[in-house]
């Protein structure tokens, strides 16, 4: 029996996948497996360290006993979930949301955004995103043939030396306007922002929206952390009916209810836009897990009854404060998030040993990759280097920062803090 030589690539990948650098997730996971400090305290990826509330997990268990919940869901989503979302969001948008025509359910918010790009982006169309960006935006835009234009959020000038607010990461409106041209089809906004934690102010959103109206540009507003604002939060679709008419809003039941593995997302917007997003979703994965949609519906229906929204926001803000206390102890600056569950901390004061034995694929990357590897190997704490969320041109803006996810049990946060105190030996 013959076999092809392992050196012969008989089936090369499509160009959209070929030649990609090793991604940040695989590097961090590699370090975590190799670290002599075990078990690793994983503050890297943004999955929750605890279960959804009992009233939601009970609903999921009950759904398993329903025949229809074990079969294909309608492609646009189970009616009960669409109605629950429409009822929950109508007061937030200041108008009645039609569950039949203005809401569609997707297999996670990420697949929902892919559906939006597939619905409206063609070869040669341009999409503007802000750096740092959620890395999945890139492949999602490039798959249908879109070209990406980047506009960077500028970090606080004193970020290396002082605690700052995520709101101090600023958008240069002149740069944004310069990035717009006749090929610009869409702008992606992420608020509250991952990884910065910035909530775009009403005036910032108005300036962005005015440019979109002026240039007939679609707005994709990624608001998956919308239930975790710590400062006033404006939804861009509420600014005016004219702006709402060209805005698609993205939400996540997984983020809302601590169940990211359920992959239940939703998109809301004008019927004429949602129609095509739903059509693209149908061709990508047809439908979303039925029983988990049913449980998510119960979540939206009963969240107010249990005081869940206020409780989850207060608890997460408390976790941010609890975790950041260690940076105050160490004198390390950080960017205090205005929303969401990520904290960017600045490690400019940490002196990496000049003779440290980084593997070649880490040694060639920016300083934050070395910091991340070092923390995992020496302290057993995993954090994400954010330069992977930048273009080559702007990577150095974030080379001293690391991203930590605080959506963990308080015990885990305390373990991470205790280990991070070990940084003192490398601080001048």
Q: How confident is the model at residue 116 (pLDDT cuts 50, 70, 90)?
A: very high
Res. 393: pLDDT tops 80? yes
Res. 1: pLDDT tops 50? no
Q: Under a CB-based contact definition with an 8 Å cutoff, are residues 76 and 293 in contact?
A: no
| Average pLDDT along the chain | 96
Q: What is the pLDDT of residues 221-253, one digit of tens each?
A: 999 999 999 999 999 999 999 999 999 999 999
Q: What is the pLDDT of residues 307-341, one digit of tens each?
A: 999 999 999 999 999 999 999 999 999 999 999 99
Bridge-partner residues for 269, per DSSP?
none
CA 26/CA 32 separation, integer angstroms: 10
**Segment among 28-32, 120-124, 309-313 with least mean pLDDT:** 28-32
Q: Under a CB-based contact definition with an 8 Å cutoff, are residues 171 and 205 in contact?
A: no
Terminal alpha carbon distance of the chain: 63
- The DSSP call for residue 344 is E
Predicted local distance difference test score (pLDDT) of residue 220: 98
What's phi and psi for 142, nearest 5 deg? -75, -30
Reference 419, options 45, 39, 48, 164; nearest CA is: 39
Q: How confident is the model at residue 102 (pLDDT cuts 50, 70, 90)?
A: very high
Q: How confident is the model at residue 7 (pLDDT cuts 50, 70, 90)?
A: low
Q: What is the pLDDT of residues 147-180, one digit of tens each?
A: 999 999 999 999 999 999 999 999 999 999 999 9
Q: Tokens for 76, please give them.
A: 């646009």
What average pLDDT does the segment 175-190 reach?
A: 98
ω before 39 within 30° of 0 (cis)? yes
Q: What is the pLDDT of residues 359-371, one digit of tens each?
A: 999 999 999 999 9
Percent of the chain exceeding pLDDT 70 equals: 97
3-state secondary structure of 154: strand
What average pLDDT does the segment 61-72 reach?
A: 97
Reference 105, options 265, 250, 223, 295; nearest CA is: 265
Percent of the chain exceeding pLDDT 90 equals: 94
What average pLDDT does the segment 26-49 reach?
A: 94
CA 38/CA 149 separation, integer angstroms: 41
User: CA 186, 190, 195, 196 torsion: positive or negative?
Assistant: positive
Predicted local distance difference test score (pLDDT) of residue 8: 65
Q: What pTM was computed for the model?
A: 0.95
């Amino acid at each position: 029996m013959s076999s092809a030589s392992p050196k012969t690539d008989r089936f090369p990948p499509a160009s959209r996948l070929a030649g990609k650098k090793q991604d940040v997730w695989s590097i961090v996971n590699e370090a975590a497996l190799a670290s002599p400090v075990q078990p690793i305290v994983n503050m890297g990826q943004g999955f929750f360290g605890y279960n959804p509330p009992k009233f939601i997990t009970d609903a999921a268990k009950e759904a398993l006993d329903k025949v229809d919940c074990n079969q294909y869901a309608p492609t646009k989503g189970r009616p009960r979930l669409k109605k629950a979302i429409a009822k929950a969001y109508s007061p937030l948008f200041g108008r009645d949301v039609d569950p039949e025509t203005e809401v569609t359910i997707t297999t996670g918010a990420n697949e929902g955004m892919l559906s939006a790009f597939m619905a409206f982006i063609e070869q040669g169309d341009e999409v503007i995103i802000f750096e740092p960006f959620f890395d999945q935006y890139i492949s999602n835009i490039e798959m249908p043939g879109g070209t990406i234009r980047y506009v960077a959020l500028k970090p606080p000038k004193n970020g290396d030396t002082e605690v700052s607010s995520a709101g101090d990461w600023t958008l240069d409106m002149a740069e944004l306007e310069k990035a717009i041209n006749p090929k610009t089809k869409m702008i992606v906004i992420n608020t509250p922002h991952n990884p910065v934690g910035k909530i775009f102010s009403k005036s910032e959103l108005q300036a962005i929206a005015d440019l979109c109206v002026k240039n007939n540009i679609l707005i994709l507003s990624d608001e998956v952390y919308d239930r975790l604002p710590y400062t006033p939060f404006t939804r861009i679709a509420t600014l005016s009916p004219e702006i709402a008419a060209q805005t698609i809003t993205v939400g996540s039941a997984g983020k809302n209810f601590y169940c990211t593995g359920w992959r239940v997302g939703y998109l809301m917007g004008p019927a004429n836009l949602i129609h095509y997003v739903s059509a693209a979703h149908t061709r990508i994965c047809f439908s979303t897990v039925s029983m988990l949609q049913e449980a998510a519906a119960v979540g939206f229906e009963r969240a107010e009854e249990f005081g869940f929204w206020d409780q989850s926001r207060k608890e997460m803000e408390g976790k941010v404060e609890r975790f950041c206390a260690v940076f105050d102890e160490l004198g390390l600056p950080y960017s205090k998030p205005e929303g969401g569950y990520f904290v960017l901390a600045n490690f400019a004061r940490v002196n990496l040993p000049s003779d440290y034995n980084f593997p070649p694929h880490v040694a060639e990357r920016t300083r934050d990759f070395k910091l991340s590897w070092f923390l995992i190997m020496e302290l057993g704490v995993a954090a994400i280097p954010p330069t992977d969320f930048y273009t080559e041109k702007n990577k150095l803006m974030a080379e001293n920062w690391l991203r930590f996810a605080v959506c963990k049990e308080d015990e885990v946060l305390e373990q991470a803090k205790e280990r991070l105190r070990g940084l003192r030996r490398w601080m001048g």
